[in-house]
Structure 1
Amino acid sequence: MRSGFSDLENQSDTLKLDDEEVVARVLEGNVNAFETLLHRHSDLVARIVKRHVPLQDAEEVAQDVFVRIYESLPSFKGKSIFRRWLSSIAVRTCYDYWRKAYRCREVVMTQLSEKHQEWLEEAVSGESEEKRREADARKEAQDLLNWALAKMSPEDRMVLELIHLEGLSVKEVADLLGWSLANIKVRSFRARKKMEKLLTGQMRDKRRKA
């Protein structure tokens, strides 16, 4: 019985510690202290994962993130904020998800619906930014975006999402993915060109069939 009380006391103690101190406890052998990190950052991990992988796979990927975090704790040197270090692992896990899906070709390449075609025509024809944002908010626009992203390589997809959809800087993306600034800049430029080619190509096909 005393052992149970002792575990509760230890958990209560770790709740008062900052992330770096909790990490130190885990590395000293207090495995239960990791639960504090899990509960403290589960919402952050869930938000990151849900932005980058299909909803039906989000829970499994989030679990993979925490497994990687636990296994990588010895490499955390406290040189960066723990949340930032954790976010980097979450983003890289999502990237690995798409690498696996790309190799297995598990992503379904759906055909564009008529509504998708209408949205695409508005986007390519140079509608106002306000109308573009309104169109982006529609489900049809999200489906179209997913269709185009599914045709990108895992590397291009992550760079597009992080820079052009989430608005992160080149340096922030380089830190998250562990790639060089030059690599991110080149991929961002090329990926955007690929996306534009996909969209304009889809419009060209539509006009040809009209």
Structure 2
Amino acid sequence: MNDAEIVRRVLDGDVNAYALLVDAHSAQIMGIAARHVPPDRAAEVAHDTFVRAFERLATYKGESPFVHWLTRIALRRCADFWRGRARSRETPFSALGTGAREWIESIPDSAAEDVDAHAERNEAGVILDWALAQLTPDDRQVLVMTHMDGQALNDVAELMGWSLSKVKVRSHRARRKLRDVLGRMLD
């Protein structure tokens, strides 16, 4: 049975059939959530995605694959997560772990050293997560999708519901904003 048939069954009153859709797509939605929100919150966002999809199932028109429709909902839920975080966005530099602060402070002194060796350290991931959290949810998502996940611009445009030119512009601006955030940290 394909996704469209399952959706039709759910809408016809067989709500238990929705579990088939959850089973079929939970790994992909969890993967999306894990790339766009902190790992300890990914399961919650994935769950919220399936709840929202169930609530909105009647709006699925079948014009695109169900998984694309579900992915758009997952991306919106990820953006909602960061919007909620943005209300209390101020994360003081002192809130970073000692290792992360030491790594940031060592960058100017180690300019001659191999920067890639520093990037491999765990603290670099913490710093990147912190810096990404300083961006707007849309900027964070487009940056993660285009540059970290390596998704094609056309795919990102379709998933975000944007034009290709908007994806290109937002991606460029998001990179510049991330550079500015990281630059301010070093000042």
Task: Answer yes or no: same fold by TM over 0.5.
Answer: yes
Pair member with larger Rg: 1
The 8 Å contact of residues 7 and 57 in structure 2, kept in 1 or not, is answered as yes
1:96 pairs with 69, 76, 80, which one?
80
Aligned residues: 182
Cα root mean square deviation, aligned: 2.4
User: What's the CA shift string for 1:37-66, capped at 9, x where partnerless?
Assistant: 112211111111111112332222111100
User: What's the CA shift string for 1:174-193, capped at 9, x where partnerless?
Assistant: 22122232322221111111
The 8 Å contact of residues 92 and 176 in structure 1, kept in 2 or not, is answered as no
1:159 pairs with 142, 149, 153, which one?
142
The 8 Å contact of residues 119 and 141 in structure 1, kept in 2 or not, is answered as no
Q: TM-score, normalised by structure 2?
A: 0.84
Structure 2 distance, partners of 1:120, 1:148, is 18
The change in CA–CA distance for 1:107 and 1:69 in structure 2 (over 3 A counts) is farther
Structure 2 distance, partners of 1:126, 1:182, is 38
2:7 pairs with 6, 23, 26, which one?
23
**SS of residue in 1 equivalent to 2:56:** helix
Structure 1 distance, partners of 2:109, 2:150, is 24
- In structure 2, the residue matched to 1:105 is 88
Give the unaligned 5+ runs of structure 2: 95-99
- The percent identity for this pair of structures is 41
- In structure 1, the residue matched to 2:97 is none
Structure 2 distance, partners of 1:171, 1:117, is 39
2:129 pairs with 132, 140, 146, which one?
146
2:67 pairs with 83, 90, 100, which one?
83
User: What's the CA shift string for 1:100-154, capped at 9, x where partnerless?
Assistant: 211x2156344451123446877xx5987xx63x654431110110121121122
Deviation at 1:169, TM superposition (A): 2.2
The 8 Å contact of residues 110 and 147 in structure 1, kept in 2 or not, is answered as no
Give the unaligned 5+ runs of structure 1: 1-16, 206-210
Deviation at 1:160, TM superposition (A): 1.1
**SS of residue in 1 equivalent to 2:68:** helix
Deviation at 1:166, TM superposition (A): 0.9
